[in-house]
Amino acid sequence: MAIRLIVIEPDDVLHKTAKEVTKITPNVQKLLDDMADTMYDAEGVGLAAPQVGILKRLIVVDAGDEHGLIQMINPEIQSKEGEQFGPEGCLSIPGLNGDVRRAETVTVRGLDREGKELTVTASGLLARAFQHEIDHLNGVLFTDIAEKVYEMKPDTNGSGE
């Protein structure tokens, strides 16, 4: 496993649509592991492959809850319910937070690292992380949809996504 360099805005890769993973290889699995290591090293709760410069539909999330680390290939939001509104940050946009409106609960379906179907229903921070990371796969940053963007205060770090 390795810590990868996190791509920083305004890098073009962050604004492109990631491509579907058609074959799960040892390289894809290693990338998922590297992404998890990178996310933990940066003290984030989520990371998408474009954030490490790779346009593949891969995400890792860990909101510090009972779900633990979730590694997902080709994730898609199947349903959304309710609404939450709050601060988000992004490892690719250091120093900024934004107030973003998201669904309170989402059901996300994709594949696990072995290629088996994986469906997760999440609320709160985990739901926010899923939506944030899937946006990355579509070239959308939180600053594109935030109702307000502001500099991060030194004593807070938002949700750290």
Catalytic residue among 43, 117, 133, 147: 133
Asked if 150 and 81 count as a contact pair (C-beta separation under 8 A), the reply is: no
- For CA atoms 147, 92, 21, 59, give the dihedral sign: negative
Give me the sheet containing 84-88, strands edge to edge: 84-88, 96-102, 148-151
Residue 132 labelled as part of a binding site: yes
Is 140 annotated in a binding site? The answer is no
Residues 6+ apart with CB under 8 A from 46: 39, 59, 60, 61, 62, 129, 130, 132, 133, 161
151 in active site: no
Q: What is the DSSP letter of 5?
A: P
Is 136 one of the annotated binding-site residues?
A: yes
DSSP label at 49? G
Cite the annotated binding site by residue number: 90, 132, 136
Which residues are the active-site residues? 133
Cite the annotated binding site for Fe cation by residue number: 90, 132, 136
